[in-house]
Amino acid sequence: MVGHRTQIKIVGEILDTTMQEIDEQEGATVTHIIKNANISHGRLSRILSNLVSQGLLEQVNSKRSCRYKISTSGREFLIAYKTFRDFSDDFGLNI
């Protein structure tokens, strides 16, 4: 059974997707994030602009498409998120 995802969980999955793309040094495309985080384009756009304004993501404009890279504070947030996601799981709860 697939449970309802909270906002913080969606943000965690988006940051995780951009973190996975770190080796390429170009960031993740919107299409790639939509696919990995399983979220609609409209909702993703709102969340992405929010994350960029908060400094968790960096927008990289290349010739072909708009990409997103995780920032240093984004990485710190992701580590904290994963730690406390596991902590909530231990109590049988969703973060």
Partner 1 sequence: MEFFLEISLNLVGLLVGIIIGIISYIGFKNTGSPTLFRLSIAFCAIGIGFGILATGFIIDDFIFETGNINAGISMLGIASQVIGYWFIAFSHTIKTFFPKSRYLRSIGALPLFLVSFGYVETILRAVSFILLVYGAIETLISYVQGRKKTTLFVAIGLGLLGFGEFIGWYSYVFPETILYVGSIIMKIGGLISVGIPVSKIPLRKISFDENL
Per DSSP, 92 falls in state: T
Q: How far is the CB of 29 from partner 1 (least distance, A)?
A: 25
Q: Find tokens 């909702």 and name the residue.
A: 43
Q: Which residues pair with 28 in a beta bridge?
A: 68
Between 35 and 43, whose beta carbon lies closer to partner 1?
43
Q: How far is the CB of 79 from partner 1 (least distance, A)?
A: 7
The site for partner 1 (CB under 8 A) is made up of 3-4, 6, 8, 54-56, 73, 76-77, 79-81, 83-84, 86-95
Q: How far is the CB of 57 from partner 1 (least distance, A)?
A: 13
Of the candidates 42, 13, 43, the residue with the CA atom closest to the CA atom of residue 28: 13
Between 13 and 26, whose beta carbon lies closer to partner 1?
13
Of the candidates 6, 2, 14, 5, the residue with the CA atom closest to the CA atom of residue 78: 14
